[in-house]
Chains A and B, each alone.
Chain A
Amino acid sequence: KAGVTQTPRYLIKTRGQQVTLSCSPISGHRSVSWYQQTPGQGLQFLFEYFSETQRNKGNFPGRFSGRQFSNSRSEMNVSTLELGDSALYLCASKSRTSDGDTQYFGPGTRLTVL
């Protein structure tokens, strides 16, 4: 099976702009989660989508939003970018089988806000 894919891999934006990141999960996985990784805060959970519905949400401001499509692909949007939004954004998919909700990660999108 193909792994989790994320596009784009690298992105440079300026403060105040908005950005959309895309994630395609492993085939058959219906859950997609997003994480923000920074040197200072480590890995922080943003939100999880399952069957096009947000199932769980982390402690991030409303500028961070997401959605999931019927084919399980997911997008994450950040509006009014701030310098502190510079981070590696990771997407993970999982399947609730005997796999124990194991998350499989994509390569990430490196976002730089100038």
Chain B
Amino acid sequence: AQSVTQLDSQVPVFEEAPVELRCNYSSSVSVYLFWYVQYPNQGLQLLLKYLSGSTLVESINGFEAEFNKSQTSFHLRKPSVHISDTAEYFCAVSSSAAGGSYIPTFGRGTSLIVHP
């Protein structure tokens, strides 16, 4: 079985400050890791993903996440946040399920609140 723990339910931060949203996972097999962002009244948008290769992955809007296998973590970071980054962020881990399909398990989400 796989599980995801997002350690912080809410992270308040001031604009232009750095931020880290923490995510730890547990799985007995190889995994894919994802971060999604959800704005109010919208669906989830893929922010970035780790499939294989370089352990540091980046998104187009300045976020990055590093896969740490020994610590089973996939923390999300941004060096300088903007008001528009205020949203709910979900970490997900995906491993092979029945039929060979990968079904992701999501964390409970972290609400990033950026103050001016």
Contacts and interface: CB of A to CB of B under 8 A. Distances in A.
A64 interface: no
Most buried by A among B45, B98, B104: B104
Q: How large is the interface on B (under 10, 10 to 19, 20 to 34, 35 or more residues)?
A: 20 to 34
Contacts, number: 59
A74 B49 CA distance: 26
Interface string A1-35: 00010100000000000000000000000010100
Contact of A48 (B41, B101, B107, B109): B101
Contacts of A101: 32, 94, 101-102
Q: How large is the interface on A (under 10, 10 to 19, 20 to 34, 35 or more residues)?
A: 20 to 34
A74 to B, nearest CB: 15
A56 B51 contact: no
B103 A56 contact: yes
A100 B46 contact: no
Contacts of A90: 43-44
Interface of B: 32, 34, 36, 41-46, 49, 51-52, 90, 94, 97-99, 101-109
